[in-house]
Structure 1
Amino acid sequence: MANKDYYKILGVSKSATDDEIKKAFRTLAHKHHPDKQGGDEKKFKEANEAYQVLSDKTKRQQYDQFGSEFVNQPGAGGAGAAGGGFNGQGFEFNFGNMEDLGDLFGGFGDMFGFGGGNRGAHGRAGGRVSRGNDVAVDAELTLEEAATGITRTFNLNKLSSCETCGGSGAAHGSNTHDCKHCGGKGQIRTVQNTILGAMQSVAQCPDCRGAGKKPEKECATCHGTGAHKRAEELTINIPAGIDDGQSIRVSGRGEAAVHGGTQGDLYIRVHVKRHKFLERDGETIYSHIHISFPTAALGGEARTHTLGGEVTIKIPEGIESGESIRLREKGIAYRGGRGDHIVRVTVDTPKKVSKTARKLLEQLRDEMEG
């Protein structure tokens, strides 16, 4: 699948402000909403996907750097990965639920079906099913690993879908039935008479926890919840170009929700260790070398550290202290290219010289100064 141009989808420029992006999305969402006559569900989802990325400062920065299409995470599907999105080699954003649209449309959210309430997914019976907790882990990388990308394995002990019952909560051979407490709706509606009139409230059913279904006989492993705590090993591709302090979201790989709810997400917080010889600024790498005065005057060669190891570089004649040498496309990989490596040069002036060296320097001075 080709990279998606989110700016083109919303009809805005790459320098568009947050307000311009929001206004463009609101127009498209009203135009293409599938519940409206002449609506286009595909275009509506595309617009929502683009808005979810471009309206978030961090996601927009990652999109501008990496693009919308990376290599998908192995096994990163599941309940939380439904719907298209900002997928990538280490990045995957899920926009299937569209809960944020309620805030965008304000009071019209309920009319268009965006609703409010807690973050979750609609159950088959129309109730609100709980969402699993997000899980956060840390990954410490070397600068070289961050520059080239790396595969990391994480051993997690988290609430996961029950392997015995497949997450249904029912014992083998046992069927499920509508919850008697809520009539299979997953919600309990109550009406209270107040001085302002009858007020209706809706709450999640405490018996089935919003699932609308209950097993005839509960699974002995998870006791009918469909989830239990166990060790799980996840292998994640961390993309080339990741920077210190950035986080990777892997959709649907957090904790499972009880009673078949939506699975949470896994967040990987990246920490890049300080390099002994190299510094990074965006996509540019910097190193520092010292050369002698004769090498600066006559030119020559010097050794410097790079992301690929120590290499020999050419020193042009007449270089001065404070000048730099650019190694093109030897920096950090980014969307559509690679940064440069800048070698900063310091010319060392000797504090003590031998008699022979002094004589040669005096001859050089006399010749140069005439």
Structure 2
Amino acid sequence: MPTATMKTDYYEILSIERTASDGEIKTAYRKLAMQFHPDRNPNNPEAEEKFKECSEAYQILSDPDKRAAYDRYGHAGVNGASGFGGGSPFQGGDLNDIFGDLFGEMFNMGGGNRRATRQQRGRDLKFDMKLEFEEAVFGVEREITIRRAEACEDCRGTGSAAGKQPETCQQCGGRGQIRSQQGFFSVARTCPICSGTGSVIRTPCTTCKGDSRVTREHKILVKVPAGVETDTRIRYSGEGEAGRFGGPAGDFYVVLDVKAHKFFERDGDDLHCVIPISFPQAALGTDLELETLDGVETIKVPEGTQSGREIKLRGKGVPHLNSHGKGDLIVEVRVQTPSKLTRQQKELLKQLSETISIENTPASRGIFSKVKEMFS
């Protein structure tokens, strides 16, 4: 006589306590089913057997009545209920209940009764816009023309000729998927007749050729706010391509590229520039006129100004984007030494140097940094 084989305890198979909740049973099963699933372990009979074991354990313990009978009488109380010996336990709707949320995305098995839809969201569109420096600072409005797919007016976005409607695909029953049983689990694949849409256009619209959309030119008024920078993106919701077969439209993005200024450099909302001055101007002080973005401004250079000193003009920078106020304009003055002098100029400088005494003793750079900070 053949020797009887003792079946492993279902709780032991799932590595859970006998007091485990429904949620704990489901979590334990998910983990094991993912580990031993045949698609992850091809040509591995041991893994396939473990997969059958944990699936059988889950089928019993996830059912309150079967679990109660098992807890009271053991395997004898559910003999024949597990069904692996005489047929698959995954028949009818049980497969979706057990595997729908676990393998739905991996094997496209979830939602067996869900009907497909032909609707598809339209593509997002992007437009690169170049701006002059001043346009980015103060803002600008421009009308641009783009080409995009729009819903066909003749068929109203259905893709079918006037008076006709898409028909439910007979091959998949409108689900967009064909299911087949392979062993003890089900596999779904995209329907080859309707390409997963669930419906078939028998009489296509002659204007859009059944696509539901046509390409047209479209004008958009782009409003660039003051204070934008390079790579700023402006989004226009729903202004992208129309969705297919009545699906939602995509979005339209304007990506900005700001040209450099001839002498202003931008740092956040502050502007920087450098103005050269002569030694007499630095020593005696002077007034300079600077053409800013807001007009001519007078800059007062105090006497004894050191080269590299920064003079700040508050509120003369870039407007804060979508807010009040502006950054500052920071002017650095640099004392410029002439490379060529006339004989008279040299003589005058010699006379001046005799009246000025400076010790040319080496010092750390920190001292000069502190001097610069004192005059900033």
Q: Secondary structure at the match of 1:270?
A: strand
2:144 is matched with which residue: 132, 135, 154?
Answer: 154
Q: Could you tell me the TM-score, scaled by structure 2's length?
A: 0.55
The alpha-carbon distance between structure 1 residues 295 and 261, as it changes in their structure 2 partners (threshold 3 A), is: same
> 1:275: Cα distance to partner?
1.8
> 1:147: Cα distance to partner?
1.4
The 2-side partners of 1:192 and 1:184 are apart by: 12
Unpaired runs of at least 5, structure 2: 1-99, 108-114, 359-376
The 1-side partners of 2:157 and 2:122 are apart by: 13
Aligned ranges 1:223-302 → 2 under 5 Å: 223-302=209-288
> 1:321: which partner in 2?
307
2:335 is equivalent to residue 347 of structure 1:
yes
> 1:229: Cα distance to partner?
0.8
> 1:207: Cα distance to partner?
4.5
> 1:365: Cα distance to partner?
4.0
> 2:167: which partner in 1?
179
Q: Secondary structure at the match of 1:147?
A: helix
In terms of Rg, which structure is larger? 2
**Greater strand share, structure number:** 1
The 1-side partners of 2:186 and 2:172 are apart by: 25
> 1:196: Cα distance to partner?
4.5
Percent of pairs with identical residues: 35
The alpha-carbon distance between structure 1 residues 185 and 138, as it changes in their structure 2 partners (threshold 3 A), is: farther
Amino acid at match of 1:297: A
> 1:250: Cα distance to partner?
2.2
1:198 is matched with which residue: 186, 207, 216?
Answer: 186
2:135 is matched with which residue: 131, 145, 152?
Answer: 145
2:122 is equivalent to residue 132 of structure 1:
yes
Aligned ranges 1:34-183 → 2 under 5 Å: 127=117, 129-169=119-159, 174=163, 176=165, 179-181=167-169
> 1:312: which partner in 2?
298
Report if the CA contact (8 A) 1:299-1:316 is conserved.
yes
The alpha-carbon distance between structure 1 residues 269 and 364, as it changes in their structure 2 partners (threshold 3 A), is: same
> 1:366: Cα distance to partner?
4.5
**Deviations 1:33-65, CA, capped at 9 Å, x for gaps:** xxxxxxxxxxxxxxxxxxxxxxxxxxxxxxxxx
Unpaired runs of at least 5, structure 1: 1-109, 118-124
The count of residues paired between Structure 1 and Structure 2 equals 249
The alpha-carbon distance between structure 1 residues 319 and 159, as it changes in their structure 2 partners (threshold 3 A), is: same
> 1:165: Cα distance to partner?
4.9
Q: Which has the higher contact order (CA 8 A, sep 6+)?
A: 1
The 2-side partners of 1:328 and 1:152 are apart by: 30
Amino acid at match of 1:161: A
Report if the CA contact (8 A) 1:208-1:259 is conserved.
no
**Deviations 1:227-267, CA, capped at 9 Å, x for gaps:** 10111111111222222233333222111122111212222
